[in-house]
Amino acid sequence: MEKFNPDFLWGASSSAFQIEGGWNEDGKGESVADYNSFLYAGLQQADTKVASDFYHHYQEDISLMKELGLKVYRFSIAWSRIIPDGDGQVNQKGIDFYNKVIDCLIENGIEPFVTLYHFDLPLALVEKYNGWENRSCISAFRRYAQICFKEFGDRVKNWQVINEQNLMVRVDERLNMYHVEAKNKERVRAQMDYNMFVASAYVMQDCHKMVPNGKIGPAISSTMTYPASTKPLNVWAAKMNDNFKTNYALEMYCHGQYPGYYSNYLKKADILPSMQDQDEQVLRDAQPDFIAVNYYRTLVASYLPSDANHPFGTRKNDVDFDLYGYFKIEKNTNLSATEYGAQIDPMGLRIVLNEYYRQFRLPMIITENGLGTPDIMAKDGKIHDQYRINYLADHIKACYDAIQDGVKLIGYCPWSVMDLLSSHQGFKKRYGFIYVNRTDNDLKDLRRIPKDSFYWYQKVITNNGLVN
């Protein structure tokens, strides 16, 4: 394998609620993620909401990032640290914290790549407006983003708007939708989704106006789907899974319009969101500079006939549901899977990168990709995570192949820079290059221990992509 372009952005990723801790310090407001994800992971007690405690360890952590050789660090700003109640007073201490982080990164030669919103909507906005259901949330997000552009835009040139809106909108926990009556859920979900698209469009335009040389784009959760067989209905099911889960969102971000299959679904299910006249223009005028791709696995689908009483069938669970009755998720017997069921598929990455580039012709950056597993510290006090090295090496090779296919891929930021709170399984499921010495119920000493994969990735970066 040849090397990558000399300017290829080798990086790593995290998100605020999963790494920072300091969840209520220095004026921070609570977010739906502080509330729900900790509850979900059995980490609800206040004194354990420290995640990896990056809030107090950021200098040490950034030194380790420098040692790792990162060129770019993709992280998120917690909206509720900047504006504790989402749309009220600005919290100077929150701004100060991110100024320190950004300056420290730059001093260490690492480019900051900032996500504005990664699953952590300020809880106060849910209490006031039911969050994204209400258009007040659009103006609140726009104001928050403008504050970030003004405060940090002199040093931060790469921005991501919303992390994985296409996945988040389907997970009730992320939007705090527990209290919405079942019969209204899909209508509320469609409205929230639409309002987020409008908010993203405004924010992309604001970034272009406010940040000199600023670049901004959406980050999508990518789960490419294979048909369970060559039966045409199964091929159709797989295509519709991708369309309904990912492509409709990409079309909205890039072309400012829902594709026909999606608006027809909304009409048929009688859940067409309420729209305002000016939205059409705003959505059309917003142009992303790149697409950020979060990729972990692929899926397999077979056709599932619709429930006669519902236009598109019923949902069974939050993530791998039988979407609108089009399909049923199957196992891929050709692939191995992690113990959490994610089917490992580097070739799938090459396929989706080609597919997105063919459709949208925008540069892409991978902002998440990684293997989540309960790493065990060996007797020698080290973490020998050869399985993670294998996973990452195969995916880096797939990136290289996609570039050879003609895809414009500008960087690779695996998940995650260090162990952090998994969105569903707490500290049981680790992804990092750096081990954080704590468990779900015991904070221990929070010591940072570089894993074998740390030293391996360091060499990959030094050698600009040579994986072995």
Q: How far is the CB of 119 from ligand BG6 (least distance, A)?
A: 6
In angstroms, what is the minimal distance from the CB of 68 to ligand BG6?
A: 19
Nearest approach, Cβ of 33 to ligand BG6 (angstroms)?
9
Identify which of residues 160 and 302 has a Cβ nearer to ligand BG6 in the complex. Answer: 160
Question: Is the omega angle on the peptide bond into residue 416 within 30 degrees of 0, that is, cis?
Answer: yes
Decide whether 151 or 164 has the Cβ nearer to ligand BG6.
164
Please report whether residue 294 would count as binding ligand BG6 according to CB under 6 A.
yes
173 is catalytic: no
Q: How far is the CB of 48 from ligand BG6 (least distance, A)?
A: 17
- Choosing from 223, 422, 436, 467, the residue that interacts with ligand BG6 (CB under 6 A) is 422
Near ligand BG6 by CB under 6 A: residue from 415, 427, 435, 456:
415
Residue 206 in contact with residue 281, Cβ under 8 Å? no
Contact residue for ligand BG6 among 429, 430, 438, 451 (CB under 6 A): 429
Residue nearest to ligand BG6 (CB): 422
| The residue to which tokens 């697409």 are assigned | 291
Burial class (CB in 10 A: 0-12, 13-18, 19+), 227: buried
- 407 neighbors 350 (Cβ within 8 angstroms): no
Residue 372 is a binding residue for ligand BG6 (CB under 6 A): yes
Query: Strand pairing of 72-76 and 9-13?
Result: parallel
Residue 33: strand, helix, or coil: helix
Answer yes or no whether residue 37 interacts with ligand BG6 by CB under 6 A. Answer: no
Supply the minimum distance, in Å, between the C-beta of residue 15 and ligand BG6.
5
Which CB atom, from 87 or from 345, has the smaller least distance to ligand BG6?
345
Residue closer to ligand BG6 by CB (options 4, 17) is 17
Name the token pair of 269.
């299910």
Per DSSP, the residues of 119-174 read: S--BHHHHHHH-GGGSTHHHHHHHHHHHHHHHHHTTT--EEEEEETHHHHTT-HHH
In this structure, what token pair is assigned to residue 340?
A: 């959490």
221 binds ligand BG6 (CB under 6 A): yes
* 424 interacts with ligand BG6 by CB under 6 A: yes
Give the burial class of 164: count Cβ atoms within 10 A of its Cβ; 0-12 exposed, 13-18 middle, 19 or more buried.
buried
- Name the minimum Å distance from CB 250 to ligand BG6: 16
Closest residue by Cα to residue 145 from 75, 207, 216, 217: 207
If the CB atoms of residues 162 and 409 are measured against ligand BG6, the closer one turns out to be: 162
- Contacts of residue 344, defined as CB under 8 A and 6 or more positions apart, other chains included, come to 297, 335, 336, 337, 338, 371, 391, 394
Q: Measured from the CB of residue 246, what is the shortest distance to ligand BG6 in angstroms?
A: 12
Question: What is the per-residue binding string for ligand BG6 in 147-166, x denoting contact by CB under 6 A?
Answer: ----------------xx--
Judged by CB under 6 A, the number of residues near ligand BG6 is 14
* Size of the chain in residues: 468
Considering only the stretches 79-87, 240-248, 347-355, 415-423, report the one whose residues sit in contact with ligand BG6 under the rule CB under 6 A. Answer: 415-423
Q: Two tokens at 440?
A: 């779900």
Task: Indicate the burial class of 446 (C-beta count within 10 angstroms; 0-12, 13-18, 19 or more).
Answer: middle
Indicate the SS3 state at residue 1. coil
Q: Which residues bind ligand BG6 (CB under 6 A)?
A: 15, 18, 163-164, 167, 221, 294, 368, 372, 415, 422-424, 429
Active-site amino acid positions: 368
